[in-house]
Amino acid sequence: MCESTEHDKIAASHSGVKSITFQAVGKFFAAVISLVGIGIIAIPTGIIAAGFNHVINKEDQEEAIEEAAERNVEQTLDTMTEDDLISLQAEVSERLKKYGHTTTITIKGKE
């Protein structure tokens, strides 16, 4: 019933070759479009995220430095003798006067 001619056999073999060629070209374009998508979306997103991360870490470091400095001052004051504190008082008062402040500092009733 179904007779195939020589022409049908050639047409069938040619369509197979064309589909393989189109598949290869399609895969190539898909790869190029994927790389362009990565370049346009993923790379700038990573750069922006890294910038946010840098700012957040910088703020955390500044807070940690301030806290450490406060603890260090408190520990230093706790270990100072009364004579050391009086001499510190005099030095601070002199520096305040240098900048035009008239504030006096008293330690345990002493001026």
pLDDT tens-digit series, residues 79-110: 888 888 888 888 888 888 888 877 666 666 55
Domain ranges of the chain: 11-79, 81-111
pLDDT tens-digit series, residues 28-71: 999 999 999 888 988 889 999 999 999 888 888 888 888 888 88
Q: Which two tokens stand for residue 21?
A: 């060629």
* Long-range pairs, 83-86, Cβ under 8 A, ≥24: 86/110
78: confidence class by pLDDT, cuts 50, 70, 90: confident
Name the pTM for this structure. 0.39
Instruction: Decide: 88 and 106 in contact? Cβ < 8 Å.
Output: no
Cα 98 from Cα 86, distance rounded (Å): 19
Instruction: Decide: 86 and 107 in contact? Cβ < 8 Å.
Output: yes
